[in-house]
Amino acid sequence: MKGNPNAHLTAKERDKVSYPTRKLYNMGVIEGEVLDFGSGFGKDAEFLNAKGISCTNYDPHYAPDYPTQKFDTILCQYVLNVLLPEEQAEVLMSVSELLKPSGKAYFTVRRDLKRFGYRTHYVHKVPTYQCNVKLPYKTFFINDFCEIYEYRHFTQVDNGKGGIFENPPPDTELISELATVYSIYDKYPVNKGHALVIPKRKSRNYFDMTDKEKTACQIMVERVKTILEKKYQPDGFNIGFNMNKAAGQTVFHTHIHIIPRYKGDVENPRGGIRNVIPGMGDY
């Protein structure tokens, strides 16, 4: 939040439930254990709890206890519009990680913005940020004022494509997800916690990706590294990709390997990836 310290001041001090949450409630799609992510003052959670729906609210400023469980339904109402792109990425990854494999999340974004970028908040008189947001998810509802996207894990959506990385099976464990890239555990791990970062659009190798996809992959690599460090406490990592058959590539859809390393997992780790050519590691 260093470049956008006043994002929390855009939360409306409403005294009742937000329009999108009421809309989703009336449509009967808010089910199971619910999380209101970026809840502001918590009025949506109050409304749902009063209706007998168990709802936890999280907001980094107003309700800062980060959730420790996974949820069936996650609501994220009018949050992305007031965040910088890197902050939006943080929210998308967090929601994907907090959602159960069978769950659904609903992102509501404004469609009535007239000005973009930084502006002086009319009440608080400090710079606040706002922008238009488009997501590659299913549009669940739209009017002149807002659009509600429905998000499910990429591993749970049959997009009709045949590639193993374009349409991964539903029993694949998702680690984290962004709009253009996702991460899973390798089906044939070479070490505990071996993970893959994969762009959703098929490209043959890293150099065929767009700059946007490369940036998303970099963000995801750093995110997955942090998750693996917390979960497995490795002593190091090998991170990289194979390009073309001569370099050992077998699945011709770009994917980056993140391989945790542990003391003693090989007799002599000296040289690291240089050992792809036998005898060239010890130099």
8 tagged catalytic: no
- Indicate which residue of 124, 153, 255, 257 is catalytic: 255
Please provide the distance, in angstroms rounded to a whole number, between the alpha carbons at the two ends of the chain: 44
Are β-strands 195-199 and 181-185 bridged in parallel, bridged antiparallel, or unpaired?
Answer: antiparallel
Residue 127 pairs with which residues in a beta bridge?
Answer: 120
**Spatial distance between the Cα atoms of 156 and 176, rounded to a whole number of angstroms:** 13
Number of helices and strands in the chain (H, E): 4, 13
- List, as own/partner pairs, every contact residues 199-205 make where C-beta atoms lie below 8 angstroms and the sequence separation is at least 24, other chains included: 199/254, 200/154, 200/166, 202/161, 202/163, 202/165, 202/166, 202/253, 202/254, 203/253, 203/254, 204/252, 204/253, 204/254, 205/241, 205/243, 205/244, 205/249, 205/252, 205/254
Q: Do 105 and 178 form a contact (C-beta atoms < 8 A)?
A: no
Q: Active-site residue numbers?
A: 255
